[in-house]
Amino acid sequence: MLTLFKNALVYSPENLGKKDVLTGGKTILAVAGTIDPPSGVEVQTIDCEGLWLVPGLIDSHVHVTGGGGEGGPASRMPELQLSMMVEAGVTTVIGCLGTDGITRSVESVLMKVKSLRAQGVSAWMYTGAYQVPPPTITGDIAKDIALFEEIIGVGEIAISDHRSSVPTIAELAKLTGHARVAGMIGGKAGIVNMHMGDAHDPFRPLHEIVASSQMGYKQFIPTHCNRNFYIFEDSKEYGKKGYVDITTSGYPYYADEEVKPSHALKLLIESGVPVEHITFTSDACGSLPGFDPVTGKLVKLEMGLPSSVLREIKEAVLDDGIAPETALKVATSNPATILKLTGKGFIQEGCDADILVIDPHFNIIRYMAMGKLM
């Protein structure tokens, strides 16, 4: 069956104006001012008058098998469910391990990624976890990246955090170079997803790696860059050289500690950070812990949700005055380009048919993943 979306205001994420969009199989077949239903084949026509058609969201930091555990066995988070993606408008996820690379395995993440793909959405993953050396499938991050189609990089590696394995700069540089070469061999991004903790001057390890090696800033995606006010201030300068990832789930749980993601986007752009360097991710199914600064004891715990990404994009547009075509980039074209996810992140002929139809208040009206309406 072909599906024809008529009369939609299309954001590719660039504003294309009012267009018709035709999909068939798993692919966008045509985007044009007017498309007549092809004769001789079954066509489902959806009138989108007054609605927007945008790329399905890419949430590139999700604990698909569940995260957490900092407060003992009862603090383990549950795994991601397909329904959580659908209600959030997320058609692509990148899975990862986090704090617990000890009792949770990279193999389990791989099988969850395969499960999500079998259910009709798109999924990739990082090998590794917080720890250095990181857990892997083959015993080598480079082999994991080069040999497994689903694995695009390594992470999330923890730095500037009391839960990290306190890796040296030499260890981090070697890991980064290893991931880069594996990406080249496997045709992947080979990127390193860096968990940024609460230590002051948190980007120092990344600056030192770049200064002491041939690695560039764009070999990293540092995440949680809005987790406190001082890391966010540093992000305004770091983001001019490399990527900054804003975590959306922490707000409103930690409103007194974090920079609100929608407002963070506005402030980063005003500071001169190219919007193409900015991504939004949910940290879904990961724990959002709070620790007593004196005793180090866990004092509160929340869980990230995929729906936070669309919520913060919505509020960036409706509350912070950012143009839709700009706000949408942080979870569509930007992660697709940075992570080399071919066919993702754009409404263009030949791209995957990952499509959201939303109203101007960002309510989801239609959800299509890989050409299938759900």
Q: Provide mean pLDDT across the span 300-314.
A: 93
Provide the pLDDT confidence category of residue 297 given band limits of 50, 70 and 90. Answer: confident
Average pLDDT of span 52-68: 96
Assess whether 49 and 165 both reside in one domain: no
- As a whole number, the mean pLDDT across the chain is 95
Are 15 and 136 in a shared domain? Answer: no
d(CA 88, CA 306): 6
- Is 72 exposed, middle or buried (CB count within 10 Å of its CB: 0-12, 13-18, 19+)? exposed
Q: Return d(Cα 65, Cα 72) in angstroms, integer.
A: 17
User: Is the domain of 101 the same as that of 224?
Assistant: yes
Task: Look up 283 and say whether it is catalytic.
Answer: yes
Task: Tell me the pLDDT band of 309, cut-offs 50, 70 and 90.
Answer: very high
pLDDT at 301: 80
pLDDT tens per residue across span 70-90: 888 888 999 999 999 999 999
| The two three-digit tokens of residue 184, written as one number | 């080249």
CATH of the domain at 311: 3.20.20.140
| pLDDT, tens digit (0-9, with 9 covering 90-100), for 185-237 | 999 999 999 999 999 999 999 999 999 998 999 999 999 999 999 999 999 99
Q: Is the pLDDT of residue 8 over 90?
A: yes
Percentage above 90 pLDDT, the chain: 87
pTM of this prediction?
Answer: 0.95
Supply the pLDDT for residue 302: 85
pLDDT at 296 exceeding the cut of 80: no
Q: What is the mean pLDDT of residues 12-21?
A: 98
Residues 110 and 155 in one domain: yes
Average pLDDT on 96-109 reads 95
- Please state, in angstroms and as integers, the Cα–Cα distance from residue 269 to each residue in 158, 221, 327, 330, following that order: 26, 18, 11, 12
DSSP state of 68: B
**Burial class of residue 162, CB neighbours in 10 A (0-12, 13-18, 19+):** exposed
Beta bridge partner(s), residue 246: 280
CATH number at residue 21: 2.30.40.10
Same domain for 360 and 321 = no
Overall domain count for the chain: 2
Comparing C-alpha atoms, which of 134, 74, 124 is closest to residue 98?
A: 134
Averaged pLDDT for residues 87-115? 96
Whether residues 21 and 109 fall in one domain = no
When comparing pLDDT for 24 and 287, which is higher?
A: 24
Q: Which domain holds residue 36?
A: 2-54+345-373
DSSP letter at 77 equals: P
127-167 confidence digits (pLDDT tens) = 999 999 999 999 999 999 999 999 999 999 999 998 899 99
d(CA 72, CA 144): 30
Please name every residue paired with 10 in a beta bridge, in sequence order, or none if there are none. 17, 53
Catalytic residue, from 100, 283, 320, 352: name it: 283
- Are 351 and 28 in contact by the 8 Å Cβ rule? The answer is yes
Q: Are residues 146 and 78 in the same domain?
A: yes
